[in-house]
A and B are shown apart, each in its own frame.
Chain A
Amino acid sequence: MLLDLMSLAWSALSGHRLRTTLSVIGVAVGIAAVVALTALGEGARQYVIQEFTSIGSNLLSVLPGKTETTGAMPGMGGVPNDLTLEDLLALRRQIPSAQYIVPVSMGTETVSHGERRRQVAVIGSTPAFLQARELRMAQGQFLPPSDVERGTPVVVLGHVTAQELFPGQQPLGQVVRIGEWRMRVIGVLAEIGTQLGIKMDEIVIVPVATGMKMFNRSSLFRILVKVRSPKDLDGACDQVIAILTERHDEEDVTCITQKAVISTFSSILQTLTLVLVAIGAISLTVAGIGVMNVMLVTVSERTEEIGLLRALGATRGNILGVFLVEAMMLAGLGGIVGLVVGLGGVHLLTWMYPAIPAAAPAWAIGAALGLAMILGGIFGVVPARRAAKLDPIMALQRR
């Protein structure tokens, strides 16, 4: 019976090509919007997660300042104690379960070699920074193992920085100026790209003590702790806070795990995806009204046919079925076209911006088609009921 209704509906739909095409386009735009926007939102979420995991998901950051006590960003309001190299050493002594504990100092300075100069981010750290941030060397060596409090005048260049300062030259062993400091290049990092919005290829890395002296700071920017497994993260955080609270006589540091950051971003982006879906839903509603409009016109045009079918023994339920199936087919066709267009759009997007892993989640594809059918059903009910309610005689006489 359903197949027969579909075949009847198909003959009616194909009899009005332009009208059918326009309605299908209306629904297709809505469905394509839902598919593409969902893919975009999901892509953004994946992108952020990927960015965070690229710097290691077993990582936790300790930064000076306490969020809870001031109710504002760490470092704002109140005067927190510095995060010092002594704190770092204390943590290293007291948290043996940590794989790496590395300090990070940070500043911006001009780096130059001969006539070529460039403003770069200068990171001060220790040898374990390489492993903690999962970086690789292109040539030379990373920071030498030495006392953290001794600042040797050596520097490791980011990939782009090395290329800019030493075009076609071997940078190893050469001397660069960073501000007032003369430093010897001992290594060049392999190409990394962007991590968390920082162009890692355009940095330079110096020993932490050198970095702190260079920027005349007594406090570290943060301390990175890398644990062996993600399940150790929370425990390590608690330990860090306990140790530093004891050293500072107050709880004045914040410990952020990648997990927490990822889940925050993830939930923000999930909300964003929902908002995008809602926008798509609006265009779907408009499309649904279009379907309803077309079906109302169809019912009015086919009044005589409805009367005939009733005379031939079709029940009110049969007539309802005929027009519901037709509306659902109309919307379903739009769903298929919209899905193809939407997925094509996503494909185009990933081709244009390969960095964004935009992909429609499987549920969105199923939901798009289901949604189209439901749309047809909902907006088809009113016209179909109108058809079913027609009096057979009146309908036959088109009164």
Chain B
Amino acid sequence: MIELQHIAKSFEVGGQPIYALRDTSEIIQSGDYVAIVGPSGSGKSTLLNVIGCLLRPSEGAYLFKGEDVSQLDDQALSQLRQHQIGFIFQSFHLVPRLTALGNVALPMVFAGIPSSERQLRAKEALESVGLSDRTNHRPNQLSVGQRQRVVIARAIIMQPSLLLADEPTGNLDTHSGQQIMELLESLNAKGLTMLVVTHDPNIARRANRIIVLADGQIVKRIKGEEFLSGSPPWS
């Protein structure tokens, strides 16, 4: 589904290009469950943002479902994010003044979906993450675990083919984190391709594959089951 060909991403700092990602090639199949791990500053988030079409690669080609999206304009990239990609953020990024329902329905507003359908679909999505009794609560009236569930409901509301999660359990306690990962894995089991950036070896080892990044490059690829115990290879 995703093919990265010699992708590099550089940022200008003081007139000098600083590479956050270099010569990265990877293929991710449909339905895959991949963990991206590595120390801070290794380029995990940059890789995730490139794959999420929030950043344009400086070099290389990025094929999404066979189409090179690295040269698409803003409009087309927005469309792609809207319909194909769901995002889960460590810090939730919920709109504080909107209810859980309003937050979940938000992506559908810009897709031009009529209000009645938005309400219905948002309710169903909240129900599917176990929050049917919290639809009219604002984010500050929800526990952190519930907030992350709202974020998941929002991420899947447009029925994307790719789900990107940046430290999805980073702000949660172990128990909530466990529940959130089970919820995400149930979505993967239904065929949703999933990429998870994490620091937590316990989260990483649940994935089918683990990509280890260091200094902006993929340094190791491990199968999930091969990574059972011992200290994480990136520490």
Known: A313-B78, A314-B110, A392-B54. A308 touches B83 (CB 8 A): no
Q: How far is the CB of A45 from chain B (nearest CB, A)?
A: 49
Q: How far is the CA of A32 from the CA of B89 in the complex (A)?
A: 47
Q: In the complex, what residues of B have CB within 8 A of residue A310's CB? A: 54, 78
Q: How far is the CA of A393 from the CA of B164 in the complex (A)?
A: 14
B31-39, B93-101, B128-136, B199-207: which one contacts chain A?
B93-101
A8-16, A33-41, A195-203, A242-250: which one contacts chain B?
A8-16
Residue on B nearest A16 in the bound complex, by CB = B97
Q: How far is the CB of B140 from chain A (nearest CB, A)?
A: 12
Indicate if the CB atoms of B106 and A309 lie closer than 8 Å: yes
> Is A305 an interface residue when CB atoms closer than 8 A count as contact?
yes
Q: How far is the CA of A396 from the CA of B52 in the complex (A)?
A: 13
- CB within 8 Å of B: which A292-319 residues: 304-305, 307-318
- CB within 8 Å of A: which B155-169 residues: 158
> Is B109 an interface residue when CB atoms closer than 8 A count as contact?
yes
Residue on A nearest B45 in the bound complex, by CB = A393
Q: How far is the CA of A308 from the CA of B97 in the complex (A)?
A: 14
Indicate if the CB atoms of B74 and A8 lie closer than 8 Å: no
Give the contact-size bracket for chain A.
20 to 34
Indicate if the CB atoms of B81 and A312 lie closer than 8 Å: yes
> Is A352 an interface residue when CB atoms closer than 8 A count as contact?
no
Indicate if the CB atoms of A312 and B97 lie closer than 8 Å: no
Q: In the complex, what residues of A have CB within 8 A of residue B110's CB? A: 309, 312-315, 318
> Is B79 an interface residue when CB atoms closer than 8 A count as contact?
yes
Indicate if the CB atoms of A315 and B115 lie closer than 8 Å: no
Q: How far is the CA of A311 from the CA of B87 in the complex (A)?
A: 8
> Is B111 an interface residue when CB atoms closer than 8 A count as contact?
yes
> Is A18 an interface residue when CB atoms closer than 8 A count as contact?
no
Residue on B nearest A312 in the bound complex, by CB = B107
Q: How far is the CB of A189 from chain B (nearest CB, A)?
A: 71
> Is A4 an interface residue when CB atoms closer than 8 A count as contact?
yes
Indicate if the CB atoms of A316 and B74 lie closer than 8 Å: yes
Indicate if the CB atoms of B97 and A12 lie closer than 8 Å: yes
Indicate if the CB atoms of B78 and A308 lie closer than 8 Å: no
Indicate if the CB atoms of A315 and B89 lie closer than 8 Å: no
Q: In the complex, what residues of B have CB within 8 A of residue A308's CB? A: 93, 95
Indicate if the CB atoms of A15 and B97 lie closer than 8 Å: yes
> Is B219 an interface residue when CB atoms closer than 8 A count as contact?
no
Q: In the complex, what residues of B have CB within 8 A of residue A3's CB? A: 115
Q: In the complex, what residues of B have CB within 8 A of residue A317's CB? A: 75
Q: In the complex, what residues of A have CB within 8 A of residue B5's CB? A: none
Q: How far is the CA of A396 from the CA of B109 in the complex (A)?
A: 19
Residue on A nearest B109 in the bound complex, by CB = A4
> Is A1 an interface residue when CB atoms closer than 8 A count as contact?
yes
> Is B189 an interface residue when CB atoms closer than 8 A count as contact?
no
Q: In the complex, what residues of A have CB within 8 A of residue B106's CB? A: 309, 312
Q: In the complex, what residues of B have CB within 8 A of residue A314's CB? A: 78, 82, 110
> Is B49 an interface residue when CB atoms closer than 8 A count as contact?
yes
Q: In the complex, what residues of B have CB within 8 A of residue A316's CB? A: 74, 78
Known: A11-B98, A393-B49. A313 touches B81 (CB 8 A): yes
Residue on A nearest B79 in the bound complex, by CB = A313
> Is B17 an interface residue when CB atoms closer than 8 A count as contact?
no
Indicate if the CB atoms of B93 and A313 lie closer than 8 Å: no
> Is B112 an interface residue when CB atoms closer than 8 A count as contact?
yes
Known: A11-B98, A312-B82, A313-B82. A393 touches B112 (CB 8 A): no
Indicate if the CB atoms of B55 and A393 lie closer than 8 Å: yes
Indicate if the CB atoms of A313 and B95 lie closer than 8 Å: no
| Chain A residues with a Cβ under 8 A of chain B | 1, 3-4, 8, 11-12, 15, 304-305, 307-318, 392-393, 396
| Chain B residues with a Cβ under 8 A of chain A | 49, 52, 54-55, 74-75, 78-79, 81-83, 87, 89, 93, 95, 97-98, 102, 106-107, 109-112, 115, 154, 158
Q: Nearest 4 A-B pairs (CB), nearest first?
A: A313-B82, A312-B107, A315-B78, A15-B97
CB pairs A–B below 8 angstroms (5 shown)? A308-B95, A309-B106, A316-B74, A318-B78, A318-B110
Other CB < 8 Å A-B pairs besides A305-B95, A393-B49, 13 of them?
A8-B109, A11-B98, A12-B97, A307-B93, A309-B110, A311-B87, A312-B87, A312-B107, A313-B110, A314-B82, A315-B75, A315-B78, A393-B54
